[in-house]
Amino acid sequence: MIRPPAGARGAAPATELNPQIHSKQMRKRSIVLSLVLPLGAACGTVRYPLPAELATVAPLRVSGRQGVLVNQRLSFGPYATGEVNRSSTRGTEVTDVLASHGGDYRQRYSFSLARDGTKVADVACLAEGSGAETLTVTWRLKRVLQCNVTAPDGGLRTLYLESSRDQPLAGRVTGSEGFEVAGSNRVGGGRVSGTAGYTITRGDRTPVAAVEVMNEGAVYMAAGGGDVLAAVAAALLLYQDPLQASERFRDP
């Protein structure tokens, strides 16, 4: 859990959706926000640039990222999720007498993943974000995504990514063969606000998969990529930035 700003310590909890004044110096409110659509829905035909090692890999087109997210199911190539169980984005916001504002936001989502109808993983994710500003100067933005990927035999892998300021998420996947995951905002001819896609590499930095999260989305997997990479790709495609639920800390 990402801790709220130091100024929030000691404040009594407020009832959700009913802000209360705790003193003349501090106001704290808890909020529940509705589901948001994935980033990049209006990016047109701009594409995430692939590493040279994946340039000849055929894309697995994604279905299920757009529109209403109730009863959402995602699919690409031979892979398909069950119904995605997603919470609302919940947050706690704090304001103090020095015109400092802080907020913590979180969302949980989980799903099963099948390949050609046979389940290959259960995935449970927690997305967290926090922000703080003083006198309209934002001095903290942090995002964390942690997903547990459990195989049918009980084997567990963990995806852990984090970012600060306006940087895309980056981190690794644990396991006997670990993978590095690096987000990027680069597209052909420039950059986008937010994240355009992710590249997944082995420990020797050889790219083994890429995930485009703009538009409808696409997955590129090298031969023999495996079910773990597919589960990670699905988790990235379903990720929603919790800070986008905040009017103060969302992207302009």
Q: Which pLDDT belongs to residue 27?
A: 36
Higher pLDDT, 53 or 8: 53
Of 60, 169, 62, 179, residue with least CA distance to 125: 169
Residue 138: per-residue pLDDT: 61
Kindly report the pTM of this predicted structure: 0.78
Tokens of 20: 């209360």
Q: In the chain, what are the domain boundaries?
A: 40-86+104-131+141-244
85 sits in which H/E element: strand 85-86
- What's the pLDDT score for residue 148? 97
pLDDT digits (tens, 9 = 90+) for 87-132: 988 877 677 766 677 778 899 999 999 999 999 999 999 999 887 7
What gap in Å lies between CA 240 and CA 71, rounded to an integer?
16
What DSSP line would sit under 116-134, residue for residue? Answer: TTEEEEEEEEEEEEEEEEE
**pLDDT, tens only, 10-60:** 333 333 333 332 333 333 334 344 343 344 434 446 789 999 999 999 999
* Whole-number average pLDDT of the chain: 79
The rounded distance, in Å, linking the Cα atoms of 146 and 171 is: 10
